[in-house]
A and B are shown apart, each in its own frame.
Chain A
Amino acid sequence: MNYKYKLASLIAISALVYGTSCSDPDYAEPVPATSASNLSANFLFVNASPDAPSLDLFINNVKSGNSVVSGANQDTYTAVPIVSNGVFANTNIRAKASSGTIGGVLGSSDLIYRAGNNNSNNFQASANAYYTIFAVDTTDRVKPLRTLNASSFGDTTFFNPPTGKQLSVVERKALSAEAKAKLVPLGTIPLGSSDPGGVRFLVLTETLPSPAAGKVSVRFIHLSPDAGTLTATLGATSVTSGIFSYPMRFPTFTPSVGSRGTTAGFQTIDAGTYDAVVKSAGNEVSRLDAQTLTEKSVYTVYITGVLKDGTLKTSIIKHK
C-alpha cells in the first residue's frame, strides 16, 4: 500500500470524525408567547396634599389619567395594563409635578410608592381590581426618624453600647463628648431610604359595592395631617365607614414607612342631596353643601388641608 494512499485514507477518516463531531447542542424548540398579555387594573388619583403642586400619576411610569391639583381628584378610574394578577409587588406607582418639581423635601425627586421600610418594593396589584391612590402630607414633612413615642414625631433614640441601654434625649445630653461619640443612633440606621419625607402615598384597595336602587354607598377618609380625630355627617346621617384619624399615624402603621396600603369599607344610605359636614371634637371644621348622591353610586367624602392653617377642605369622589 502506497504511503500516500494511506495518508489520504487517514485524512478521510479524520474528516469523517470531524464531520460527525461538530454539531450544535440539541436543545428543545421553545414555544414562545404569540401575543402580549392583557391584564389591567383601575386607578384613581387624589391629590390630598395640602400644598403640593398639580400632580400626575404614573403607573409603570406611564401617565394615568389627568393632572390633579391639590385637594382635587380624578373623576374616573383609568384602566392600566399590569403584569401580574395579585401575585407579587411589581406595579410601579409614582407621581410627578405636572410642571416643574414637587418641591419641599422631595425637591426634584418623584413621589414613589415603596412597599416597605427597608426596601424599594413596588405595589402589588391584581387584575381588574380598583385602587384609589392619595398623595398625602405636606411637601415639607421632615424625613422621619425612628421614634418610640406615640406622637410619631419624636427625637432619635440612641443606644449606649458600654452600658447596653437606650438613652432618652435628656439622658444623652448629660453625657460627656467622649461618651456621646460612642452612641449609636438607633433610629437613623434602618431608615432613610424608604421614606425621604415630604408628600407620600396612601393606596386604598377598593371593594366597590353595588348599591340597590335608591341607595348609595359612602364613606369618609381623613387626609389632613394635623386635624386629629374627625367625624362626618351627610345631612342627618353620620358616616360610620371609612378612616377617621389620619391614616399615616395609625398605631399599627410604622410612621417611618414612606407609603401605605390599606382598605376602607362603605356604608349604604339613601340616594339624595346632602350637606357634608366634618367636625372635630364636636366643632365643625369643614363642610361641602348640596352634594347630590345618585342612586346605585359609590362615593368617598374626604377632607384635606391643614387645620392650623385654616385650609381644611371637604371633597367628594364618585367611584362609580
Chain B
Amino acid sequence: MRRILLFLVFATGVVSAALAQGVTTASMSGQVSDQNGEPLPGVNVVATHVPSGTVYGTVTRADGYYNFPAMRVGGPYTIKVSFVGYKEQVKENVYLQLGQTFSSNYKLSDESTQLAEVVISGTQDPTLNSDKMGASSNFSVNQIQTIPSIGRDFRDISRLTPQAGGSAFSFGGRSNLYNNLTIDGATVNNVFGLNPLPGGQSNATPFSMDAIQEITVSLSPYDVRQGNFTGAGVSAVTRSGTNEFTGSAYFFFRNQGMAGKKVDGVNSPVPSFNFKNYGFRIGGPIIKDKLFFFANLEFEKRTDPFYTNPVRPNKAASTQGATQATDDNDPETGLAGLRDFLISKYNYDPGVYKDFNRATDNIRYVLRLDYNINANNKLTLRGNVTNAYQDQPPSTSGGFVGGPPGGRGNTNNVLSFSSSYYRINNNQYSVTAELNSILGGGKYSNNLVAGFSSFRDFRENAGGLAVPDFPLVDILGPNGQNMTTFGPDPFTKNNKLDQNVIQLNDNFNIYLKNHTVTVGTANELYTFNNVFTQVVNGVYRYNSLADFYADADPATTTTARPAQYTTQYVAVPGGPSATAAKWSALQLGFFAQDEYTGFENLKITGGVRVDIPLYLTDLPKNNYINSINLNGEQLRVGGWPQVRPLISPRIGFNWDVKGDRTTQLRGGTGVLTGRVPFVWLSNAVSNNGLFFGQLNTTSVPFDVTGDGFPYNFSTKPYVGNPEQYSNLQNGTPALITNPLDRNYGRSAIVPAVNTVAKNFKFPQVWRTNIAIDQQLPGGVVGTLEFIYTKDINAVYLRDANLADSKATLAGDGRPLYGAAPGSPNVDRAIISNDRRINGDIGQALVLDNTNKGYQWSITAQLQKTFNRNFQVSAAYTYTDAREINPQNGSTAGGIFSSQANVLGPNRTELSYAGALTPHRVIAYGTYRIEYFKHFATTFGLTYEGRSGSNFSYLYNGDPNSDGTTGNDLIYIPKSKEEIVLSTASATDSRTLDQIWQQLDNYISQDHYLNSRRGKYAERNAAYSPWVNRLNLSLLQDFYVEVKGKRHTIQLSANLDNALNLFNSSWGLIKNPARNQLIRFLGYEQPHTAGTVGANGQVTTTTATTGKPIYTFEANADGTPLNKSFIPDQTLTSGGRWQLQLGVRYIF
C-alpha cells in the first residue's frame, strides 16, 4: 500500500505540502512508548509556556499519541511526560514557530531502571522537520528585531523569503494584489485592492514591528484551512503578555544629513526632511497564569518639502531643464498677482505656490488580551487601530482627456498652488476574538476565530482642509508646459472608500489513530461604500495666464476660451452620494482534510476546500446598454457573475528518506483560490453608464454659450440632464439637446461602462512544489525547491465594443484598428471603419477569465542556525512568470489601457509578468554577543542581489489605432528602410539620416533591443540593470540586572544601502531612460475622411494604407539619447544610502 501511494505521488507529480497548521498558533504532537516501543496509553503530557505559566495538558490515547493544538507561539516551553511506574521525562527550552506542529516522541523507562529524571533540550530544525511540506518562510521575534529595516516595515522581513520579488510585497512572480495578509488570523488586507496593504496609499505600515511576535510567509500551503490567496499568505501574530512585566520605549530618527549626497558620482542634494518614529510596548499579567495583556502605541511622523524645484526667475539664474521663465516672464510675479485676483474676484484663496511641506503621519496601536479560561479553553482578544495620512501632489491625470503637459507637481517648470495638493487618509480598525478549545480529553479540539476589520479611506485637501467646490485650472507657460495649477485636485472631491470585513472561521480537529481529521468553515462578509466623482467640478486648461484673465474677467477688452475643458456631472437624482458603489459580497468556505501519519517516516495530508462567492446587492440595470448587441454579445451592466463553488483539492507530503531526518523530500500539489481585488468588481458597480455624464472638449464647437455649457470659466459645476439616469434605466438614452451639435436629436454617447462576465470566477491556480532538504556538513541545511503554478482562472479584461481590426498596419504587419469613434461634437455613425462596434457607447470593459498564465521558480538555499542568537541564510531563486494582462491596477480601465500588446488589447499575448524578478539572491544573518556582564552587541545584515525591474519598449502614441496611447509594443527595425522617421519639431536640427543613426545607435547599445532586431519587443521583457543592496544594523545594549530583572538601554544604527555609502556608483537603482522609446506622429496616408450623408452621418471611411511615421526624440538639451538607463535620484527608491539612529529602553 505504501509503495502504491508513493508511486502515485511521484508518477503524477502530485507532490507536496507542508501542513502549516493554524495561522495564529502552533501545535505539538507525538507518541509515548515504553522501552520496547509499545505505545503507552494514559500517559500524562503537560506542556507549560514558561513566561505566562500557560499549561497545556492531556493524556495519550490508546495508540500512545497525544496532541496539543493551538499553542502560544514562541516559548520557552517545558514538557513533562509522566506515568505511574515510569520515570518522568522533561524536555525544556522548546520554542514553537507560527504554524508549526512540533513533533516530540518519548520512550519511558520503568522506575525499576536506575535512571535519574531525564531532562533534554527541545530543539527542532526549522527546515528538517516533518511539518514542512510546502514552500514557506518563518521569521521569529528575534529576527524581526534585528534584521535591518530602516522603515521598520514587516515587508522588509517578508522580503527575505527566497521567492519574493523585487517589487514590493510580491511573491513568485504574481501580483501583490493576490496576497492575503492576516494578523492573529483576521484578514487585514486591503481587499478592495487600491493598494495591497492597508495604509499603503499613505505610506504607512499596517502595524508596528514592536507588536509582532512572528511572521510566516506561505507560498504553497496544502493545509486547506488557508485560503483567499493565489500569491502568498502572510500571517503575523502579535505579542502576548506573560507573567512578567516586560516592555520597551523607543525613538528612531533620520533626516537629509543622514543620506547620500551623490548619485553615481554626481552631486545631487537631498531635499530636507525629518523622520521620527517613536512609541512603546508593554505586556504583563492581569491575573497571574490566567489573564495577560499586551499593548503597543507607536507614532510615525515625516515632513518633506513639496517645493523642491525653483522655477528660475531669470536666465542668469537658470536651472537646467527650466524653460518656463524667460527674459520677459517671471512666473512668480504672475502667480502672486493670480492669487490676488482669485481672492478678490472669487473669494478663493489658492494657497501658496512655494515653501510648503508634505506631512506624513500615522498612529498605530494594538491591545491584546490572552485569557486562560481553564486548561482546555484559551481565549484571545486583539484590537488594533492605524490612523494614517499623507499629503500628495495633485494628480497628473486629466481624467477623461489628457493631463497637462509637464504634470502638476512641482518641477523646474511647474509651480502649482498648495490648494491643489491633497491628503489621503487611511484608517484601519480591527478586532479579533479567538477561542481554542480541547474537547473530549484531547480527542478533539476546536478553533473559533471571529474578526471584524474596518477600513476608512478618504481624501481631503492637503493640510486636512475641506475640499472646496471650485474647478481645477491648469495654465500653460511660454514653453507649452504647465506653469501653474490652482483649485482642488480633480480626483479628491467626494472621494472615499468604506470597507468592512466580517470574518467567522471555525475548524474542528479529530485525533484518531494515525489520522488527524479537520473539518471547518471560513467565511468573510464584505461591505463596500465607494464614492468617486472624478472631475465633477471641471478641469480647465488655458494656454496662458492672459487667456485665463481674459476668459475669467469680462472687464478685459480681449476674450479667450480655455484650450481644453472636461467635466463629469452627476446624472442620478440625489447628488454625489447617490453615485456610491455601495454593495456587499460574501465568501463562504468549507473544508475537510486528513493528516495521515501511518507510514513510517512519511506524513501525508490531503483535503479539499470549497469557496463560494456570493453577491448580496442588487445593482441598477442599464437597460439601454444591455439591449445593445455587440457582435452577438449582450452586455450585463448591473449583473453579477453566476454563483459557482470553487473547489480546491490539495495534497502534501513529507518523507524522511533515511529515517534520520538528514534527507527530507517534501512537496505537494493543489488548487489555491484567491479573491479578486474587489475594486475591479466595484468598477462594474459604479461605471454603469447611469451615474455620470461627461463633457470633454478641446476645440470650440460652440461659439455661443448654450445649455448652461460652461465653456467660459465658471466656478460652478456643470449640471447635466436630470432625466439621463431614468432614461437609461428605462432603456431609452438621453438625447442631445444642443441645437448647435451636429448630432442634435440623437442619443447622447454613453462614454464607458464596466461589466462582469456571467461566468467570471475568482482567481484560481494549481500550484505544485517539490523540495529536497539535506543535512550538510557543519550543520548546514541545504534546500532545493521547485514551485510550479498554473493559472486556472486568471483575470482578463477585454473591451466588448472594440471592433475587429480593419486592416494591417503597413510596414509593420500588426492589426490596424478603426478610426476614432464619433464624439458629441462631430458626425457620429456606425460606420465601416469605426473603432467601435456600436458608436452610441464607448469602451465596454468586461471582467473575464483566461486559463493562460503560469509561474515557476527554483530555489537553492543554505541555512545554518548556530543558536537562537546566531543564524544565517543564503538563497538563489530563478523565477519565470507569464500573464495575459497586468494583474495590477486600481481600475479596470487602467489595467486594460496598460496591456502592452502587438495584436490589440483584446488579443494580448501571453508574456512576462509585471511582477517577475528572474534572478534573485537573498542572504541574511543575525548575530548577538553578550560580554562584560553589562554589554551586548547585535549585528544584522541583509544582502539582496536581483534583476532590475522589467518593462516594455512601447511607442509613444497609438499607431495601431486601438484608441489607447502608449500600449503598442515597438517593432525594432533592422535598417533605415524599415521605419519612416521624421523630425520631432520645428526646433529639431537633425536630418532624417541623423535621427535614424541615433535610433540605430541606441538599439545597438541596448542589449535587449539589439537582440530583437527585426522582431516586436515583448511585454515586460526588458530589464533595468542588476540591483545590489546591502543593509546593515547594529544594536548596542547596555544592561544591568536589578532585582533579577534586566534593564537595557539600546542604541541602534540602521544603514540602508550600505554599498552606496562606500561608493556612490554602487547600490544604485536605475530606471529606463525612456520606455516609450519612439514617438508615433501619424501615417503617411491617414484614415480617409468619409462622406457626410443626408442624415449628417459619415457613411464610410477607409483605413489608412500608409506607413506609420515616427520620431526618435533627442534629450531635452539636444544631445542624443544614447543610454538605456539613468540612476534614480529619489530617496524613496532606495538608490542612496540612508542611516537611521535610534535609542530604546527595554525592561
Using a CB–CB cutoff of 8 Å, the interface residues on chain A facing chain B are 1, 3, 6-7, 9-10, 13-14, 17-18, 21-22, 24-37, 39, 60-62, 81, 83-85, 87-88, 90, 92-94, 110, 112-115, 118-123, 145-146, 148, 159, 161-162, 164-166, 181-193
Contacts and interface: CB of A to CB of B under 8 A. Distances in A.
A159 B1109 contact: no
Interface string B537-574: 00000011111010001011110000000000000000
A12 to B, nearest CB: 10
B329 interface: yes
B986 A112 contact: yes
Contacts of A92: 983, 985-986, 988
B909 A21 contact: no
Contacts of A36: 976-977, 980
Nearest to A21: B856
23 contacts: A1-B7, A10-B10, A10-B772, A13-B13, A18-B856, A21-B880, A30-B971, A31-B811, A32-B812, A32-B974, A33-B979, A33-B1107, A84-B1084, A87-B1082, A118-B543, A119-B985, A120-B985, A162-B344, A164-B345, A187-B546, A189-B544, A190-B543, A190-B544
Nearest to A190: B544
A123 B988 CA distance: 12
Interface string B1039-1074: 000000000000000000000000000000000000
Interface string B1-26: 00100110010010100000000000
Most buried by A among B547, B812, B991, B1014: B991
A148 B546 contact: no
Nearest to B557: A166
Given A31-B808, A85-B1106, A189-B478, A114 B977 contact: no
Given A18-B856, A84-B1082, A37 B338 contact: no
A188 B333 CA distance: 12
A24 B1018 contact: yes
Contact of B813 (A28, A37, A118, A119): A28
The 9 residue pairs across chains A and B that have the minimum distance between CB atoms: A31-B813, A190-B544, A33-B811, A188-B328, A161-B341, A161-B337, A92-B983, A90-B982, A25-B911
A161 B548 CA distance: 12
A122 to B, nearest CB: 5
B814 interface: yes
A190 B983 contact: no
A88 B477 contact: no
Contacts of A162: 340-341, 344
Interface string B893-919: 000000000110000011110000000
Given A161-B340, A192-B329, A87 B811 contact: no
A117 to B, nearest CB: 8
A119 B477 CA distance: 11
Contact of A61 (B15, B338, B811, B991): B991
A93 B982 CA distance: 12
Contact of A27 (B546, B558, B812, B1016): B1016
Contact of A122 (B546, B813, B969, B983): B983
Interface in B785-842: 786, 788, 808, 810-814
A140 to B, nearest CB: 17
A34 B977 contact: yes
B972 to A, nearest CB: 9
Given A10-B10, A161-B341, A118 B329 contact: no
Given A118-B544, A164-B344, A164-B553, 18 more contacts: A13-B13, A17-B788, A18-B856, A25-B909, A27-B911, A30-B814, A33-B980, A36-B980, A83-B982, A84-B1083, A92-B983, A162-B340, A165-B556, A181-B333, A184-B334, A184-B545, A184-B546, A188-B326
A21 B788 contact: yes
A85 B1107 CA distance: 11
A191 B477 CA distance: 9
Nearest to A29: B813
Contacts of A9: 10
A60 B981 CA distance: 11
Interface in B313-367: 323, 326-329, 333-334, 336-338, 340-341, 344-345
B1011 to A, nearest CB: 11
A29 to B, nearest CB: 7
Interface string B583-618: 000000000000000000000000000000000000
Interface residues of B, number: 98
B856 A184 contact: no
Given A27-B1018, A92-B988, A184-B337, A119 B1106 contact: no
B986 A186 contact: no
Interface string B633-668: 000000000000000000000000110000101000
Given A161-B344, A189-B546, A192-B328, A27 B902 contact: yes
A161 B338 contact: yes
A17 B545 contact: no
Contacts of A34: 977
Most buried by B among A9, A18, A110: A18
A135 B3 CA distance: 94
Contacts of B772: 7, 10
A31 B809 CA distance: 9
Contacts of B869: none
A87 B991 contact: no
B876 to A, nearest CB: 15
Given A9-B10, A25-B911, A30-B1014, A193 B1084 contact: no
A184 B810 CA distance: 51
Contacts of B478: 118, 189-193
B476 interface: yes
B362 to A, nearest CB: 40
Contacts of B974: 32
A36 B993 CA distance: 12
B1019 interface: yes
Given A28-B814, A30-B813, A145-B328, A13 B912 contact: no
Contact of A184 (B338, B345, B813): B338
B417 to A, nearest CB: 14
Contact of A31 (B337, B543, B770, B812): B812
B328 A185 contact: yes
A90 B1083 CA distance: 11
A1 B6 contact: yes
B882 interface: yes
A311 to B, nearest CB: 30
Most buried by B among A31, A94, A145: A31
Given A18-B858, A90-B983, A186 B788 contact: no
B1083 A159 contact: no
A14 B770 contact: yes
A192 B1016 contact: no
B558 A148 contact: yes
Interface in B862-913: 880, 882, 902-903, 909-912
A37 B977 CA distance: 8
A203 to B, nearest CB: 12
B910 A25 contact: yes
B705 interface: no
A21 B918 CA distance: 14
B311 to A, nearest CB: 13
Given A84-B1109, A87-B1083, A148-B558, A182 B657 contact: no
Given A7-B665, A148-B557, A184-B338, A84 B982 contact: yes
A58 to B, nearest CB: 9
Contacts of A120: 480, 985-987
A21 B912 CA distance: 12
B699 interface: no
A186 B329 CA distance: 10
Interface in B957-981: 969, 971, 973-974, 976-981
Interface in B1106-1135: 1106-1107, 1109, 1111
Contacts of A187: 546
